[in-house]
Structure 1
Amino acid sequence: MPKIIPYQTAKHSLSLQEKIGQLFMPAAFINDSEEEILKLEKLIKESAIGGLCFFHSRASAATNYEGKKEVIYNAKSLDVLEGLIERYQNSAKYPLIIAIDAEWGLAMRVENTPQYPYAITLGAIPEGDDLIFEVGKQMAIDCLNAGIHWNFAPVADINNNPENPVIGYRSFGENKEPVSRKAIQMMKGMQSVGLLTSSKHFPGHGDTATDSHLGLPLIDKSKEALLHNELYPFQKLIENKVDSVMVGHLSVPALTGNTETPTSVSSKIIREVLRKELGFDGLVVTDALNMHAVSRRFEKKGQLECQAFLAGNDILCFAENVPEGIEEIAKEADPQLVEESFERIWKLKEKAMATATQIPATSGTDHAVLNQKLAEHSLSFVRGNPDKLKDFSGGKFIGLCLSAQKDSLFFDTIAKELPFEHCYSSQDQFSNFEKVIGDYDQILIGLVPPKVKPQNNFDIPAEQLEFIRTLSRTKKVVLYLFGNPYVLNLFDLQSLEAVIVAYQDFPEFQKNAAYHFLGRSNAVGMLPVTVKNYDHENI
């Protein structure tokens, strides 16, 4: 791997073309063909690109994520990632800065790596910012040990739209103060061991119903409303020295002056609002430039990359037309603007490379131990009376596990202390469940939705949804939800005896939920978002 040289040396030794190359951060894929790897090595050598952003595979990245290409599981992805980073670094004339989306840990992109809870789960923790800090720190250690310098996190979006198809569970919640506080703690945790951070998706992707991977979301709010709410977490993160800000692909006419210009290519957004009004002097990075919200608006190769730079972005993430983009920027941009961005990039690289030589020797807190603490602090009693739950568990009841899995640690843990009859939807017993219920008046349901995103009712089969609804009108039903709390909008909560949200289906979360049912742990969490019929007074 080449060594980083001081900026004052680099300022005079790199050509203008090389300095422009440093603006580019194309995608690298962990599970890729040798042919594609060789192409990227060639690009690194010939274009002097500044860095790489890693994704799991071409099938799982950005515009393909919702889709139609099968994502192949690779148990050795971490080993492959580490090998590729070394290989690509050895191809570079100047050290590459390596980035990744690891919002809930490397597991967001890499199999068999520690996974931490989604932001919405952390948002349920009413107190305990030290736990959020610890999550950030542990994620950072995992990244640094893999050779990664930069995590595109934390998400600073305030999710106040239940139908948001792309943010939702990735946000800490719907209220600006806790979202800001938790995002800052996660950022500080990552920075405490030297990982670079990025707040996203500026100026706020929470109140949208369109996925910017596929189209341009519209946020039709006044500037005053945006400053009061959406921009608030970004302002707080800037005040607390976030390393970079990622600009989303959004239509925000109150800030750009029209509905057609995406924020990521708007100088009014970046140079005026972000730089001048919010006072941000750090690095600005685009959201992935292959996303349809912007990529389909520029026909000529290199034009999008050039426009994104002229708008004020320093790093062009997931740029697909690197040679053409370099040529366009060299032709259209003021060299002084190139030098300003280059200086910001190079100084951030110096900071990252200094950290890379001081990677923490230990792996820190065991992630299972940390997840256990997070499970205990986030479990949320949403509906019902905790005292009645004691009567329920002390009587005769039957359990139904609605999950793709063939077993349930939640049910197994309960059964060790309190044997009870239970069935699994994954074992073709669901269709016969009405017969199995018999004279049971009390039903314990453990629901693990197939998806965390809201499309198609989280992929919960329609017959299962209707069965729960019908059952809750005639029986006493206690529901434990191991998933996105917005799932509760699919039910009439008033008809359920009790509703408890565990958020994750990790073993630690399932065990803690079981202990709660058995009366051995408390539910101290609070929903970070609003759902229908959520009665805060009746917890």
Structure 2
Amino acid sequence: MKHLRHALFWIVALSFSYIPLSAQRQPAFLQHLHDSWVDSLMNSLTIEQKIGQLFIVQAYSTDGKTPDGVLRDIHRHEVGGVIFMQGTAPRQLEMTNKFQEASPIPLLIAIDGEWGPAFRLKNTPRYPVQMALGAIQDDSLIYQMGQEIGQQFRRMGVHINFAPVSDVNNNPNNPVINYRSFGENPDKVARKALLYARGMQDAGLLAVAKHFPGHGDTNVDSHLGLPVIKHDTARLNAIELYPFKKLSDQGIGGMMTAHIQVPALEPNTKLPASLSPNIIQNILINEFGFGGMIFTDAMNMHGVSQLYSPGEAAVLAIKAGNDMLEIVPDLDQAVAAVSEAVRTNRIRPEAIDQHCRKVLALKKWMGLDARRTVEPENLQEDLNQPGYELTRRRLHEQSLTCLINREHSMPLMRLDTLNVAVVSIGRTSETAFQKMAARYTKVDIFNLKKEATTAEVDQLVKQLRSYNLVICGIHNLNLSPAKNYGTSSAMKEVVQKLKHKKLLVSVFGNAYALDKLSGIETADGLVLCYQENQITEELAAQAIFGAIPTSGKLPVNVNAYFRMNDGISLPKIDRLKYTIPEEVKISSAYLERRIDSLANLGITQQAFPGCQVLIAVDGKVILNKSYGYYTYNKRREVDENSIYDIASVTKITGALPALIKLYDEKKFKLDMPFSFYWPPFRGTNKEKITSRQILAHQARLKPWIPFWQNELKNNGNLRTAVFREQPDNNFNVRVSSHLYMDHRNIQRIYNEIKESPLLPRIKYTYSDLGFMIFPKVISELSHSDYEQFLKKNFYQPLGAYKLTYNAYQHFPLDEIVPTEQDDNFRHELIRGFVHDEGASMLGGVSGNAGLFSNANDLAKIMQMYLQFGHYGGGSYLDSTSMAEFTRIQYPQNENRRGLGFDKPFIDNDKNTLEHAFPAIDASPESFGHTGFTGTFVWMDPEYKILFIFLSNRVYPTRNNNKLSRLNIRPAMHQVIYDALLRGPQEH
């Protein structure tokens, strides 16, 4: 049998991928077996004290739980260690220090932290469950996770983590292992467990593989009974035992023995593996050559406690070869029984010495000979570092597994063709999944409770009839098999009744739950997320929209439709990704502190009542934050859906993309006289002005014309021949909530521009006038309505549905941030109508102003610019055209402008921040624009930075120039470069 076992191990090992880490045949702590500190203690301890060192007692750090029982065990039996259960990290640290101070011999502190501290402790990092990690293809992240978990636990004073679970789970009904396993392939389980363990041990934490000899193929919970693994030795060697053999070979520090019965390895059906010399001594120690720490699983579990008294179980566990016993039900009885067994030579004193020496050697390796207590200062901050969150996000992202993608339904393309409903089943309020989907395009939100009736399901299906795409999230599932993994008849009914629609489904739960969702295999798209939290919900939506790729592979066999290693790779298509600053190597704490400070400065100094700030680097949104209120009365807070008048940012958001597209199509030429496209200029002083000159603000045009002032009577009132408070067939140009203009007056505006004098010499002079005409030119050249041309070719395909003219027509007023209290022209608070008077007299649709947006939707067109015409899998503009429009046109006479786009000051890097524009470090290739209402957008292709700032600094009056005086926008912009190029340590 022994030769057969070795042969099978060798055969399986041939397929095992080499672990790119240095091999350790024996655990590192064994080097301290004969350390002088260990020898000294061994020489001074009585046999009773040595026995005490072999027990680990449990403690709770939950508020209100008393540690008196643990202190009693420490004083009475000088136990070797404490295992902490549920609670909080600060309380656990406090109790750890108290226990260490009370113990004559330093204590080993242990914990079950299978997916990090959050497995037991509140408000601590929670990494993905092991089934999710089993789907990941880049296992180096698992090593990094192990390192971080090691760092977190050591920071808390913990020395032993009873992880990783190294069982091969091949039974969907396993109630105790299941999602805690890396999967069904022993090769992959071994590799991932080893990397996890190596990471922890490289951080100084002892890793303990469990549950030897393999707890994966059972439908009995060993907490409640004694599971039986009935396979023969060939199968056990190839599957169950294989990961533990590999981990033993590679130097894992600890093994935990399971309360399971394995007849092929232990013929005594009353003897669990945890108490079996055949399994522990003969196989694990002698055959595998394992020299590390051997721990029992909790001795109060029914798999052993229903068979033996606490005393007898303890004696059998030590005789079998376990070094330390965890959570015996009656410590007094157990210690007494072991002492009696030694006295009667049932247990040899040398065996106690051997176990105790290993315990002390481990304590020496942990540095407990020098220091026991742990500093409590900044514990929560240390445990919740943003870098740890980044690893968690990356692990979740790489675990996402696409199992169905019929006709390449994902990632979603042609957003303008989609009428989208996002349904969350199992949740009654808006979910993170739905919120994230809404960032990418216009969606309608529906929710259905988990136990909905058939009538409620039918009502939902009826409501969804008009949608050509339904994105469905399945929520509120169980990770364990209980109640069919938490699935409900309503979940199955919705999927089955929508099978004739375009249906994309995300399942936030255990892979095995798929088998309980009959009909889900008919969906057009299916993404499995393995568990439910804000990160997985947001990432699932991002994957569906192509902001992130998917690469996960199913780690288990589910049913005939979903098999192990299934997984379709979804590509990313360069839509904005939403993540944290650390992903682009920026400190989130530093970035938010600096941006928050500047935003709050502007608010407290009343430079603006509120603002939105969006920052993206390399296509990743790392800050999308709102500050303050709509007005100074603080009745409505700004949020990411608040819509701002973007003023002159309209120039590069409205007229400019249309002109670049027409330029791409050879319908618009930059050096052709503009009068070729606008005949009224022919025969005037503007006949030879080129489009290039107008776009670069070098056409000698006046900056602006106060058109509305020309319609005033001597008494200051508006001429009723031009403006009235009620509309009719002629007075149908709405300029405010109660004011209408005669549409024939628009021609007078164009005539005033035509007849206006030119400036005396050619130089850079910013002007609105040419941009007011561009929409008419664009309509003529495109043979379509200007606004519809923009929506059809840009805004709707980009999913930018909050980017629009005349916001009052499309959104509730309470979503629109007001601009100025206009006491001269329109005599009202301007809200939803364009602030710019000239644009308002053109019906709110102009090339110089008029567009509204929130920062999120504005970012889509700006990111398209930054990607030189490409976004979301579509090509909107030619990259060579973008290069032409974004370069300085007339540097010879100190004109910094591109075509439509603003550019940094020439020699900007030589200025101080107070005199720079925009930021000192903005590259010469960067471009953007500002807006009169207090808006600013800037793109830098060299550093791949996008910065958007939206405010209503003109509330309540345009005479408020504090935004410029305080230099808030360039200062915020510079913060990004400081964070990216120099980091917080230099500031």
Alignment TM-score, normalising by the size of structure 1: 0.90
Determine whether 1:406 maps to 2:433.
Answer: no
Q: Give distance in 2, aligned partners of 1:537 and 1:7.
A: 52
Determine whether 1:235 maps to 2:236.
Answer: no
1:223-280 Cα shifts (integer Å, max 9, x gaps): 1211111111111111111111000111100001133321111111111111111111
Instruction: State the match for 1:71 in structure 2.
Output: none
Moved more, 180-189 or 439-448: 439-448
Could you tell me which of 305, 319, 328 is aligned with 1:310? 319
Determine whether 1:250 maps to 2:277.
Answer: no
Instruction: State the match for 1:383 in structure 2.
Output: 404
Could you tell me which of 328, 332, 336 is aligned with 1:327? 336
Q: Give distance in 2, aligned partners of 1:217 and 1:202.
A: 13
By how many angstroms is 1:519 displaced?
A: 1.9
Could you tell me which of 37, 56, 62 is aligned with 1:31? 62
Q: Give distance in 2, aligned partners of 1:355 and 1:503.
A: 43
Amino acid at match of 2:562: Y
Amino acid at match of 1:484: N
* CA gap 1:203/1:507 in 2 versus in 1, 3 angstroms: same
Query: Does the CA-based 8 Å contact 2:554-2:567 persist in structure 1?
Result: no
Could you tell me which of 368, 371, 377 is aligned with 2:392? 371
Could you tell me which of 190, 193, 200 is aligned with 2:210? 200
By how many angstroms is 1:78 displaced?
A: 1.6
Could you tell me which of 65, 71, 75 is aligned with 1:41? 71
By how many angstroms is 1:506 displaced?
A: 3.2
Instruction: State the match for 2:634 in structure 1.
Output: none
* CA gap 1:8/1:174 in 2 versus in 1, 3 angstroms: same
Instruction: State the match for 1:120 in structure 2.
Output: 131
Determine whether 1:471 maps to 2:485.
Answer: no
Query: Does the CA-based 8 Å contact 1:26-1:320 persist in structure 2?
Result: no
Amino acid at match of 2:354: E
Query: Does the CA-based 8 Å contact 2:208-2:253 persist in structure 1?
Result: yes
* CA gap 1:301/1:376 in 2 versus in 1, 3 angstroms: closer
By how many angstroms is 1:472 displaced?
A: 4.4
Equivalent position SS for 1:56: strand
Instruction: State the match for 1:108 in structure 2.
Output: 119
Equivalent position SS for 1:302: helix
Query: Does the CA-based 8 Å contact 1:159-1:171 persist in structure 2?
Result: yes
Instruction: State the match for 1:17 in structure 2.
Output: 48
1:442-491 Cα shifts (integer Å, max 9, x gaps): 3211112332111111223x332332342244433211112211111113
Query: Does the CA-based 8 Å contact 1:176-1:230 persist in structure 2?
Result: yes
* CA gap 1:356/1:105 in 2 versus in 1, 3 angstroms: farther
Q: Give distance in 2, aligned partners of 1:481 and 1:515.
A: 14
Q: Give distance in 2, aligned partners of 1:51 and 1:537.
A: 44
Query: Where do 1:77-476 residues align within 5 Å?
Result: 77-126=88-137, 128-298=138-308, 300-332=309-341, 333-353=347-367, 366-385=387-406, 387-389=408-410, 390=412, 394-404=417-427, 406-426=429-449, 431=456, 432-460=459-487, 462-476=488-502
Instruction: State the match for 1:62 in structure 2.
Output: none
Q: Give distance in 2, aligned partners of 1:183 and 1:297.
A: 31
Query: Does the CA-based 8 Å contact 1:406-1:426 persist in structure 2?
Result: no
By how many angstroms is 1:174 displaced?
A: 0.5
Instruction: State the match for 1:509 in structure 2.
Output: 536
Could you tell me which of 496, 515, 519 is aligned with 2:546? 519
Moved more, 214-223 or 36-45: 36-45
Query: Does the CA-based 8 Å contact 2:553-2:567 persist in structure 1?
Result: no
* CA gap 1:514/1:405 in 2 versus in 1, 3 angstroms: same
Amino acid at match of 1:407: E
Query: Does the CA-based 8 Å contact 2:310-2:328 persist in structure 1?
Result: no
Query: Does the CA-based 8 Å contact 1:174-1:528 persist in structure 2?
Result: yes
Amino acid at match of 1:164: N
Which structure has more relative contact order (CA 8 Å, sep 6+)? It is 1
* CA gap 1:428/1:452 in 2 versus in 1, 3 angstroms: closer
Q: Give distance in 1, aligned partners of 2:305 and 2:63.
A: 23
Q: Give distance in 2, aligned partners of 1:252 and 1:436.
A: 55
By how many angstroms is 1:214 displaced?
A: 0.8
Q: Give distance in 1, aligned partners of 2:386 and 2:40.
A: 40
* CA gap 1:335/1:188 in 2 versus in 1, 3 angstroms: same
Q: Give distance in 1, aligned partners of 2:393 and 2:317.
A: 43
Structure 2: gaps (5+ residues): 1-34, 342-346, 570-987
Q: Give distance in 2, aligned partners of 1:113 and 1:386.
A: 42
* CA gap 1:466/1:153 in 2 versus in 1, 3 angstroms: same
Instruction: State the match for 2:751 in structure 1.
Output: none
1:385-435 Cα shifts (integer Å, max 9, x gaps): 362233696522322112347331121111122111121235998834234
1:68-122 Cα shifts (integer Å, max 9, x gaps): xxxxxxxxx2211111111111221111100000010000000000111111111
Q: Give distance in 2, aligned partners of 1:81 and 1:407.
A: 35
Instruction: State the match for 1:52 in structure 2.
Output: 82
Instruction: State the match for 2:589 in structure 1.
Output: none
Equivalent position SS for 2:188: helix
* CA gap 1:374/1:474 in 2 versus in 1, 3 angstroms: same
Equivalent position SS for 1:213: coil
Amino acid at match of 2:86: H
Query: Does the CA-based 8 Å contact 2:58-2:70 persist in structure 1?
Result: no
Amino acid at match of 2:353: E
Q: Give distance in 1, aligned partners of 2:127 and 2:262.
A: 32
Whose Rg is larger?
A: 2
Query: Does the CA-based 8 Å contact 1:385-1:538 persist in structure 2?
Result: no
Amino acid at match of 1:353: G
Query: Cα RMSD between the aligned structures?
Result: 2.5
Instruction: State the match for 1:70 in structure 2.
Output: none
Moved more, 383-392 or 412-421: 383-392
Moved more, 100-109 or 305-314: 305-314
* CA gap 1:444/1:227 in 2 versus in 1, 3 angstroms: same
Moved more, 479-488 or 394-403: 394-403
By how many angstroms is 1:154 displaced?
A: 0.9
Q: Give distance in 2, aligned partners of 1:463 and 1:166.
A: 25
Q: Give distance in 1, aligned partners of 2:407 and 2:294.
A: 48
* CA gap 1:356/1:116 in 2 versus in 1, 3 angstroms: farther
Moved more, 476-485 or 396-405: 396-405
Structure with the largest fraction of helix? 1
Alignment TM-score, normalising by the size of structure 2: 0.50
Query: Does the CA-based 8 Å contact 2:495-2:520 persist in structure 1?
Result: no
Instruction: State the match for 1:483 in structure 2.
Output: 509
Equivalenced residue count is 513
Amino acid at match of 1:210: V
Moved more, 269-278 or 385-394: 385-394
Amino acid at match of 1:47: H
* CA gap 1:179/1:405 in 2 versus in 1, 3 angstroms: farther
Instruction: State the match for 2:957 in structure 1.
Output: none
Query: Does the CA-based 8 Å contact 1:219-1:250 persist in structure 2?
Result: yes
